[in-house]
């Protein structure tokens, strides 16, 4: 028999510990975010559709982005047991300097349209956390103002080579004079990708207002108050500010960009130079031979060529070929600290986050970016402790297996099929119709390949 008694008020009080209410609404909503996806949910609720979709979307069917994120989810970790990792050192050396964690903030355009604090919030948060911040050519805060926001931290500059080369050269010189230590020479935007969400939303600078965009913005008055009561939104580094994203890119970029342009920028730039947008092993080798300090495996967040290679899948191959000679970094699809740990284990020296940073910015300005960094820091630390790893240097390929969903068709089979399709058919063969067959269902996950 269970013995029963009247509740003891004192014992009840011990069990009922009420949480002190948080009166700061911004802090309350950010504290409720435990993952980057939580920040994304808050950002979507607080940001007009056109601005949110610019951040969240990708090119055409958005397959490249979906595959990049899936690649990180298709990872199997192999922890070491009885390996105490009570204190974890996440710091790393990258491109001649220190970063407190193995990731930095990637370059993003139109940033103040996402949330009015824009790059100032990103640079300030990065500086406070001890990680690099990258300013985009299409950024909405000047090179000099980013330096003011992050005066003692590491600032990097991302450069597009434009039709008017002197504009690009001038930007590189300005960034060097402001003390930026690394230049990201971007090579995957000879023309703009087809960002269909932006076209459907009329996303542009200045914003193209329609009845739909106004209705969508009505429940978000804070965004409009910020937009209308702060300095005019424009590209801080460019004089051309009117048009859609695609129109602006096509007007500014040049499809004739070549190795000659890289050589000129290499002469102008006094610091480290890395090439952003590398998508195969052969180009990795050629670029290292051309004298760059590093490469960033990236498909531009899936925003340029849809169905482009997944950077995380390329990583082991590229590291094997050029990892001893240059710094190999990776971006696209990173939404969890475990994604960063996986990349470092497979040989990346560093990683970059774009959307994850912008979700935090839209969710809560500077405090939201701080929250993004804190979430990733916590996830990196926890993952490393569970792997039995105390420092970044201890992470090795043996800690990670990349599971494979997308298996390439053997080249010979593809060539045979194409040749057969081109081969003329006889009249007797043409008159016959083969019975229809139902294609076999593809396996969801193929056998794991050790990285």
The residues that are catalytic are 300
Cα gap 341→350, rounded to integer Å: 10
Cα gap 132→135, rounded to integer Å: 10
Give the alpha-carbon dihedral of 383, 387, 388, 392, to 10 degrees. Answer: -60
CB atoms within 10 A of CB 113: 23
Give the alpha-carbon dihedral of 327, 333, 334, 338, to 10 degrees. Answer: -100
**Closest CA relative to residue 163, chosen from 191, 185, 195:** 191
For residue 31, what are its two tokens? 């504290």
**Closest CA relative to residue 107, chosen from 184, 26, 10, 2:** 184
Element housing 316 (H / E):
helix 311-322
Cα gap 318→29, rounded to integer Å: 41
Residue 416, CA distances (Å) to 407, 419, 423, 433, 437 in order: 18, 5, 10, 21, 20
Strands, E assignment, 255-370 = 272-278, 294-297, 327-330, 350-353
Helix, coil or strand: residue 297? strand
Alpha-helical runs (H) found in 57-183: 63-73, 111-114, 118-129, 143-149, 165-177
Give Dmax over CA atoms of the chain in angstroms: 95
For residue 249, what are its two tokens? 């890119």
Cα gap 294→274, rounded to integer Å: 4
Residue 93, CA distances (Å) to 103, 349, 443 in order: 11, 8, 41
Q: Kindly tell me the number of DSSP H helices and DSSP E strands found in the chain.
A: 20, 15
For residue 399, what are its two tokens? 């800690």
Q: How far apart are the first and last CA of the chain?
A: 59
Cα gap 29→363, rounded to integer Å: 8
Polymer length of the chain: 451
For residue 161, what are its two tokens? 């080579």
């Amino acid at each position: 028999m269970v013995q029963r008694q009247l509740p003891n008020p004192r014992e009840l009080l011990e069990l009922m510990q009420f949480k002190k209410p948080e009166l700061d609404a911004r802090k309350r909503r950010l504290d409720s975010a435990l993952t980057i996806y939580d920040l994304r949910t808050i950002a979507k609720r607080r940001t007009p559709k056109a601005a949110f979709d610019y951040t969240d979307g990708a090119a055409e069917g958005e397959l490249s982005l979906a595959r990049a994120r899936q690649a990180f989810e298709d990872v199997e970790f192999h922890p070491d047991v009885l390996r105490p990792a009570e204190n974890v050192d996440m710091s790393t050396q990258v491109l001649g300097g220190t970063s407190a964690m193995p990731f930095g903030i990637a370059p993003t355009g139109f940033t103040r349209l996402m949330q009015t604090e824009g790059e100032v919030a990103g640079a300030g948060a990065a500086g406070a956390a001890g990680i690099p911040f990258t300013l985009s050519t299409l950024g909405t805060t000047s090179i000099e103002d980013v330096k003011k926001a992050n005066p003692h931290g590491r600032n990097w500059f991302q450069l597009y080579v434009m039709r008017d080369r002197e504009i690009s050269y001038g930007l590189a010189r300005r960034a060097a004079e402001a003390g930026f230590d690394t230049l990201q020479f971007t090579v995957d935007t000879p023309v703009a990708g087809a960002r269909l969400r932006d076209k459907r939303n009329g996303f542009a600078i200045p914003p193209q207002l329609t009845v739909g965009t106004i209705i969508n913005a009505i429940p978000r008055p804070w965004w409009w108050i910020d937009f209308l009561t702060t300095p005019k939104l424009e590209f801080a580094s460019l004089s051309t500010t009117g048009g859609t994203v695609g129109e602006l890119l096509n007007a500014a970029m040049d499809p004739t960009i070549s190795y000659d342009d890289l050589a000129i920028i290499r002469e102008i730039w006094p610091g480290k130079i890395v090439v952003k947008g590398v998508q195969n092993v052969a180009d990795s080798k050629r670029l290292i031979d051309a004298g760059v300090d590093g490469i960033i495996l990236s498909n531009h967040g899936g925003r340029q060529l849809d169905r482009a290679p997944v950077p995380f899948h390329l990583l082991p191959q590229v590291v094997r070929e050029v990892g001893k000679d240059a710094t190999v970094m990776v971006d696209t699809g990173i939404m969890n600290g475990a994604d960063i740990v996986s990349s470092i284990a497979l040989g990346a020296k560093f990683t970059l986050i774009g959307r994850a940073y912008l979700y935090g910015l839209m969710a809560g300005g500077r405090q939201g970016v701080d929250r993004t960094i804190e979430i990733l820091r916590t996830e990196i630390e926890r993952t490393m402790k569970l792997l039995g790893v105390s420092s970044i240097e201890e992470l090795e390929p043996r800690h990670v297996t990349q599971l494979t969903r997308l298996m390439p068709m053997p080249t010979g089979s593809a060539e045979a099929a194409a040749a057969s399709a081109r081969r003329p058919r006889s009249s007797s063969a043409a008159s016959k119709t083969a019975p229809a067959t139902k294609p076999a269902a593809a396996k969801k996950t193929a056998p794991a390949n050790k990285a």
